[in-house]
Structure 1
């Protein structure tokens, strides 16, 4: 089970910046970005995601390193499966 999955913000979905579309290994899903409201997020930012919530911002280098680690541990498919389960509709 993955604790936090890195994803890249593709789009902010509302004017209050509550939700964003994030991409993880080619899969796009809606996530909640409220926890980063003070810090602010924008398209192109990398975030660590846990159960559909962006928990913190990370650099692209950190995100890529974590994605490589998931692949080496053969956890990448499980991470993508988790992302596919996010629902905020």
Structure 2
């Protein structure tokens, strides 16, 4: 029982991955609205020209999770890139 409680407590400290709703997700408000929109437009133009998809996620930290593990979870959840080509970038 104690082990289960500790495991549950540990998992609740992970950074929540937001749902993909646009090409630019800035949960820290680092970018101004104008900057986010400009970046969104550039990413849309790139996708239209090349086909590859790029999404930007700005979070304050990934701790206690390793950044590589966090990135893999984001890729799996968001599914950026064309099926069978796997040309997405986060």
Global fold match (TM > 0.5): no
TM-score normalised by length of structure 2: 0.31
Say which structure is richer in strand: 1
Structure with the higher helix share, 1 or 2: 2
**What's the TM-score once normalised by structure 1's chain length?**
0.31
